[in-house]
Amino acid sequence: MAILKAVIPAAGLGTRLLPATKSQPKEMLPIVDRPAIQYVVEEAIGSGIRDLLIITGRGKRSLEDHFDRAVELESFLLAKDDNRMITTLREIAEGADFFFIRQKEPKGLGHAVSCARRHIANEPFAVMLGDDIFVSEPPALAQMMDFYERQPGIIVAIQEVPVAQTSLYGIVSGATVSDSVFRVDDLVEKPAAGTAPSNLAIVGRYIFPPEIFEALDRTEPDARGEIQLTDAIRKLINHVPIYGYRFTGKRYDIGSRLSYLTTNIELALQRPDLHDDLLVFLKELVGEKLPT
């Protein structure tokens, strides 16, 4: 069955980026000249997804406003003959059908995904974390969807991380099938230092069959009262094939101050209209030769 819907959990409090996220969702922080979540939405649309459910929370109304038409702003731009920007704004709102559900309590990523149950019904679907930006061609989600069509199951994006950082991620164990595919036989959420079964971390993109919702129902909250998505996936190990997929491309995590800043710089350098001037500035700033 084809993947037609994607869920974007965006209800987190963004505490690692306070005070910037006190009144503005982390997912709406600008990366160059677009909010972070727009990169995620563009990846979904570029992968053929046209039904997008965004899980929001209190204080995140700006997410809904961003993906709506801005008629007054369009009228202002029309008076200035700025047709290029009008087209850009309309593409944001009309690129897909957007739906929004609130996660009424911050009970973790697994609980956020469970909020999508009625919208998804009995279909396979994608989950895309709203603060993970993937830059690749074809889009990372499209790569995973292509594999899913050949080998249905649970597909999680994975990448190698330094051993010192394994306690920050869900980590998989299993066996390599090919350069891009890893057959998962176990998962552990944020293992204690020195106990990780590998350095292959689950990062920001998933494809699920509808059975994940029943597994989430059976998943007990952790010590912080949160329902972890990794724990729910683990419950399906003996029932659904689980694959880790090594995507081609690069992932940017904007969850910390440093990663947010470096993501802005790297993606700005990828822009032809900004690259040369920004590179000159950076060279002057550090006082040494930088690669072009």
| Dist CA 62 CA 66 (whole Å) | 6
Pick the CATH number of 5-151+201-255 from 3.90.550.10, 1.20.58.220, 2.120.10.90, 1.10.10.10: 3.90.550.10
Share of the chain above pLDDT 70, in %: 98
- Are the beta carbons of 28 and 74 closer than 8 angstroms? no
Give me the chain's average pLDDT, please: 90
Q: Identify the pLDDT of residue 292.
A: 62
Kindly report the backbone phi and psi dihedral angles of residue 67, in degrees, each rounded to the nearest multiple of 5, phi listed first: -95, 20
Q: Are the C-beta atoms of 268 and 32 separated by less than 8 Å?
A: yes
Spans of all domains in the chain: 5-151+201-255
CB atoms within 10 A of CB 247: 23
Under the banding of pLDDT at 50, 70 and 90, the label for residue 224 is confident
Q: Which residues contact 288 (CB under 8 A, 6 or more apart)?
A: none
Q: Token digits for 113?
A: 């995904």
Amino acid 183: pLDDT: 95
In this predicted structure, what is the pLDDT of residue 289? 64
Task: Please state whether the predicted TM-score (pTM) of the whole model is above 0.95.
Answer: no
The pLDDT of residue 265:
95
Judge whether 101 and 119 are in contact, CB under 8 Å: yes
60 contacts: CB under 8 Å, gap ≥ 6: 10, 11, 25, 27
